Structure 1
């Protein structure tokens, strides 16, 4: 039995890139195929939308897009670094299926931020981060909202547009719970090494800062005790040598006394 996605693709003369998995079946992802051409796609006559609530329409979209494989490759200096699911591949999969079910995904609120940055070679760049609230409308006009964030670096004026397309891709893939068919990341494991111990002298500026709260001073004392550095000798605020643990306690008491 063909899926709605397959019938839509056949109507447009395309090879479909989505697969439906029946309950109880074991799914094996096929090799990624070329992106379909959606430019001439229109719903077939007589395929009216079912007037169902938006959450039902969205579930039908999810049902018909069983997976989107990592069919795009990042290439650097002529060598492939990794595979990924790009924006065009994601939209190509969601476009006809959302149209079939009368679903629209519309940006409702866009909150951008920008800052100057540099590439690894020191080239000036512009970093764009965009938080978008999306409204997913169903055929009856009801909707639900979801949020996603995109981030990009660009040399010219395309950073915001890139960040928005990334945010849209994330919203569709995460909101649709769309797997890749690739091996799970938990199949590999890297053990984390011990974090480097912060040196006692690095706390001095924070301890001497009159704006450091009593709670933070207690936390510093705890961190120094945990790393067994309470007895480390440092040069205090008046130039004398003092154990840093004693210094934290003394300054904490002085500030507490001064506030009475």
Structure 2
């Protein structure tokens, strides 16, 4: 409630204090001041990369690397092949991306694991990862988020790290369109030798009628004729009448199984 003094002042037309129900005055709004640009006034030093957009910096990385050959060899379990290992790829890209101010950072790693065994019945842990990568240029701008996958087996606790390393290799090689400069497989041509001609319908007829042909072989002949689309071909049977290979085979099979007696 108001005091006697306040009521008297109000009656005299004076107001020493604002009414209790009056809205509070709005605070002063400060003018927006943008954050200072961290690159303002920056002058590259002798060892610093040139301040160019990320797409141009990445293009310069690709132009300098050119290609990475498959210089490593795998020879195990009866399998031999050449490949480009993770260390080789990272050791090639690392200094060049540093030179041009390009950073490659994993931002999301989605990993799945399962237990399995090797061919020697050794317990292994399989890891498959999908990694989202941030490629940032010297000016702080970035390429759209990129993804790559990798998988690895390990008997201890290194499967996830190995799978991420494989995913990084995949990103650099595919994102960099990095060729091997290996010989194009289409640059050589090997002429095929003469292949064995397909068997004739009469050849199959003679084998079906041969008393030495087992029932198992008769079933196999039916399978071969199905694949060759020859079941409907007509031949002259043992009584000099026309009969399809399918009908002939079925009849002989039934007779030799005792069904025709």
Q: TM-score when scaled to structure 1?
A: 0.53
| Higher alpha-carbon deviation: 124-133 or 178-187 | 178-187
Give the equivalent residue in structure 2 for 1:99. 98
Q: How does 1:60-71 map to 2 (within 5 A)?
A: 60-71=60-71
Larger radius of gyration: 2
Give the equivalent residue in structure 2 for 1:118. 117
Cα separation, 1, equivalents of 2:121 and 2:186 = 35
Cα separation, 2, equivalents of 1:100 and 1:185 = 35
> SS at 2:107's partner residue?
strand
> Alpha-carbon deviation of 1:101?
0.3
> Alpha-carbon deviation of 1:184?
3.3
Give the equivalent residue in structure 2 for 1:158. 158
Q: Is the 8 A contact 1:54 1:143 kept in 2?
A: yes
Q: Is the 8 A contact 1:73 1:80 kept in 2?
A: no
For structure 2, which runs of at least 5 residues remain unmatched after alignment? 1-44, 190-228, 230-261
Cα separation, 1, equivalents of 2:129 and 2:89 = 19
Give the equivalent residue in structure 2 for 1:82. 81
Q: Is the 8 A contact 1:87 1:169 kept in 2?
A: yes
> SS at 2:49's partner residue?
coil
Give the equivalent residue in structure 2 for 1:72. 72
> Alpha-carbon deviation of 1:186?
5.3
Q: How does 1:93-242 map to 2 (within 5 A)?
A: 93-144=92-143, 145-185=145-185
Q: Any idea what the Cα deviations from partners look like across 1:102-161, whole Å, max 9, x if unmatched?
A: 001000110000011111232221110010000100000011121100001111111111
How many residues align structurally? 151
Q: TM-score when scaled to structure 2?
A: 0.52
> Alpha-carbon deviation of 1:92?
1.0
> Alpha-carbon deviation of 1:83?
1.2
- Please identify runs of 4+ aligned residues in structure 1 that moved more than 2 A: 183-189
Cα separation, 1, equivalents of 2:79 and 2:46 = 45
**Closer, same or farther: CA 157–185 of 1 in aligned 2, 3 Å:** farther
